[in-house]
Structure 1
Amino acid sequence: MALLPWVMAGAAMAEPGPSGLPPMLDLAGTGTDPAKIDYTLLPELSGTCTLVTQGDATWQFRLHNYLAFFDGKYWCMWSHGPRIEDHPTQHVRYATSTDGVKWSEPQEIMPSSSKEGFRYIARGFWVRDGKLLALASHDEAYNEKGKVHFFGKSLQLLAFEWLPDSGTWRPLGVVFDDAINNFPPQKLATGEWAMMRRDHLNNVSMLIGGVESPLKWESRPVFDRTPSNAFKPDEPEWWQLPDGRSLGIIRDNGGSKRLFRSLSSDNGRTWSTPELTNFPDATSKFFGLRTSRGSYVLVSNANPAKRYPLCLSVSRDGITFTRMGRLPVPVAEVPSLQYPHVIEHDGSLLIAYSRDKRGIEVVAIQLDEIDRLERGEIVVLAP
């Protein structure tokens, strides 16, 4: 496929790409040119922040945070490791909360791997048929040179089922071999479950299934990562558009500082060639969903210079984002905020993120505040 050279990445991309879709970014005030965004002057949303867990001398690392609401409680999981980041003995822990503010003491979903040199990485909660499942990947942490790499050849995606009577997690088995998902499964219009997958070489595909069994899936290719291609796909995400098509959004590790996107018109079974968008990105993980009020929100590190601030962008059609604000995260100095995950419950969004890869925090924002951002009613305060 022909990709725009990165030297063109600073130009406004107002014309439709090969998919025929309009630009991904068209903000009120700055239009389609991301270079015009002043991140210090973005409107700040109102919300409430709280701490879930903080690293200590023994277990410094906290990242890959995911949320769910199940059985009357909020649940938060994360990767829990000795070093930053993803070293052996890393495992997955979780905490619960009845109000999203006060969180329980962390507990293990599984202990450190019994295999020497292996790690677990948190991959999200999945509420399926009235049961709560936890997903985690398992693979070798080091390459042949003794350095952390992504991913090992033994890579597997595993599932664990919550047993409320005993308060324990039961291993279910292998969801898929040579697979790490980015976010837990969501429903297609067909009633099937689907989630984006990477293999140990970071090729991107779509896993479709999960109906007959949480361990039964088929894989459909989205994009293969090749050394000769400037586009380096990573941490893909997808959502369903109002017309039933699926839009895939992909992080690029190739230096473009932009998000890529791909379109499927057959429920994730085939995808268009990923195209460079004009949506800026600090080369980090992001998350998007459609709220119960019909708007789409995308929480991301939109500032290409650094992972701060953590931004929330709004779109009415799920294709073009027309407003962008910043999350109300307290700071004493400029932190690194990353890897958001978002759920909606009881009229609010709860957003989990990692601060400096050492602590997990959540911020609650009412849907009314998202509506105000979409209408342009939040006052911008000069720094």
Structure 2
Amino acid sequence: MDMKRIGKQGKRSFGVGLLMIMLQFFACNEKGKESPRHDDEEDKTIEIQVGTRTVQTNRVTSSGTPVVPMWKAPMATVDLRNGAGFPILSEAEHAVVWQPAAREDGAYNHYACLIHHKGRFYAMWGNHELGEDAPGQRVLYAWSDTWGSWTVPEELFPAPGPVQPRTESGIHLKPDRWAVIDDELYAITYVHGAGVYPIARSVGENGKLGEPFLVENLPSNGALPIYMQGSDAPTTAPPIGVRLYNWYRENNHISWWAGAAWGVQRRAVDGQSLIESFIYRAKDGGLVLMLRDWGTPSNPVHNNRMYVSFNDGTGGWATPHPTDIPDSPSRAQGITLDDGTVLLIGNQNTNRFDQALYLDRDPMTISVSKDGYTFDKVYTLRTNSPTGYRFSGVGGRNLGYAYSSSIVLDGWLYTLYSIGKEEMGITRVPLSALEL
């Protein structure tokens, strides 16, 4: 037997083994860099009560607040504009709803709302020429009878007051929901900057618009849009307004701006300020309320987590708790399919928590939960967004695809959204692409 050869082979095997161990170490290290959870794990599982639901968790935030575990999917990678490591839905189809030709048309466009009614898609959104939530912000709408082809937008709710820069304060509008009652379509928008309350109007198939009316009684500090003022200015909601107000509860909806009157607490258990509430029904029939942490680039108080609340047993909602669902941050929406599967459409593209990140809203994602309580799959619906704007000097914009509004129709998911808060786009994807 050649002992020299055995010695050489042993050294070679040892070297290869050492190399493999090193490669595995670096691979694991890189994997950790791409998808760290950044929750501190407790040594033992604890129970917390969130409304009527008992939750077991061994995760806490960096400040020690227990986290409601709802995320078993991978975290995003840092390669955001290439899908953030999530499978990109190649079957998705994208179309432009509207691009403003000039600043005067409104270079700021956001707050998407989508519905399908009597064979036609309707889209509405907030619009201003100078910036986000500036005085005089109005609401535009368009419709489509054929995929990819949209009408030229028209005013749905005109400017409620003087059009001014966002450095000024004043009355402005934010779209909230489309609703159908007695086979008639209604658009609901919220007045801000003069109290916070909803108004609505009907939208006919021929484009004829009904007169605006109150959905709730005018608050004591409220002021009406200029076109609702006059000697007969309303202060109480008419019967159709009351029906629309009740429509939310009857159809498991809630306003993005719901507060105390809806039993929604805007201050979380850890003291964080929360905004933009939405509801979905879990597979077991329970209602789930979610909100996002509030923050801006100049006020980085957010922690890149979604917050959750469950029914408190008295008709309201328990104090919201942080979850481990990542958030860019951005507005999200939950949709329950017929089989109880829940789709969370938003920007779940954060790769770490509790560090006040403010990321571009790219990619736009779809997260999937079989029961509505645990999300274990994530897909990229759209990515590689524009890295700049066509119009400069418009305040309050963010790059990416965001603030979506989605519906399911004939086996397809349709999603309307803003592109950099400058344009409006729409995407559709077959539900089969989500491996449901």
Query: Alignment RMSD, CA only?
Result: 3.0
Shift of 1:114: 4.3
Shift of 1:99: 2.6
CA displacement, residues 136-183 of structure 1 (integer Å, 9 cap, x when unaligned): 11232xxxxxxxxxxx5x22211111234562233132335569xxxx
Letter in 2 for 1:71: K
Shift of 1:241: 1.8
Gaps of 5+ in 2: 1-35, 57-68, 164-169, 223-244, 295-300, 351-358, 389-398
Shift of 1:135: 0.8
Aligned counterpart, 1:209: none
C-alpha distance 94-351 of structure 1, shift in aligned 2 (>3 A):
same
**Could you tell me which of 305, 315, 318 is aligned with 1:258?**
305
Q: Is the 8 A contact 2:267 2:320 kept in 1?
A: no
What is the alpha-carbon distance in structure 1 between the residues aligned to residue 207 and residue 162 of structure 2? 26
Aligned counterpart, 2:8: none
Q: Percent identity?
A: 22
Q: Is the 8 A contact 1:82 1:89 kept in 2?
A: no
Aligned counterpart, 2:87: 43
Q: Is the 8 A contact 1:244 1:265 kept in 2?
A: no
Aligned counterpart, 1:18: 49
Which has the larger displacement, 160-169 or 322-331? 160-169
Aligned counterpart, 1:269: 315
Q: Is the 8 A contact 1:12 1:278 kept in 2?
A: no
Number of residue equivalences: 323
Aligned counterpart, 1:316: 370
Q: Is the 8 A contact 1:294 1:316 kept in 2?
A: yes
Shift of 1:129: 2.4
Aligned counterpart, 2:290: 249
Q: Is the 8 A contact 1:249 1:259 kept in 2?
A: yes
Q: Which has the higher helix share?
A: 2
Instruction: Report the 3-state secondary structure (helix = DSSP H, G, I; strand = E; otherwise coil) of the residue aligned with 1:327.
Output: strand
Aligned counterpart, 2:174: 121
**Could you tell me which of 117, 134, 159 is aligned with 1:112?**
159
Instruction: Report the 3-state secondary structure (helix = DSSP H, G, I; strand = E; otherwise coil) of the residue aligned with 1:255.
Output: coil
Gaps of 5+ in 1: 1-7, 141-151, 206-218, 375-383
2:344 is the alignment partner of 1:298 = yes
CA displacement, residues 36-57 of structure 1 (integer Å, 9 cap, x when unaligned): 7875321001210000011332
2:276 is the alignment partner of 1:232 = no
Which has the larger displacement, 167-176 or 117-126? 167-176
Whichever of the two has the greater Rg, that structure is 2
Q: Structure 1 length normalisation: TM-score? A: 0.76
Q: Which has the higher strand share?
A: 1
CA displacement, residues 182-213 of structure 1 (integer Å, 9 cap, x when unaligned): xx98665xx466524636xxxx34xxxxxxxx
Mapping for residues 1-383 of structure 1, pairs under 5 Å: 10-11=38-39, 17-19=48-50, 20-21=54-55, 23-27=69-73, 30=74, 34=75, 40-45=84-89, 46-55=91-100, 56-58=102-104, 59-114=106-161, 117-140=170-193, 152=194, 154-164=195-205, 167-175=208-216, 177=218, 191=250, 194-196=253-255, 198=257, 204-205=259-260, 219-225=261-267, 230-253=271-294, 254-264=301-311, 266=313, 269-304=315-350, 305-329=359-383, 331=385, 333=387, 335-370=399-434, 372=435
What is the alpha-carbon distance in structure 2 between the residues aligned to residue 185 and residue 310 of structure 1? 32
Q: Structure 2 length normalisation: TM-score? A: 0.67
Q: Is the 8 A contact 2:76 2:86 kept in 1?
A: no
Q: Is the 8 A contact 1:185 1:193 kept in 2?
A: no
What is the alpha-carbon distance in structure 1 between the residues aligned to residue 406 and residue 160 of structure 2? 28
Letter in 1 for 2:271: A
What is the alpha-carbon distance in structure 2 between the residues aligned to residue 96 and residue 332 of structure 1? 25
Aligned counterpart, 1:212: none
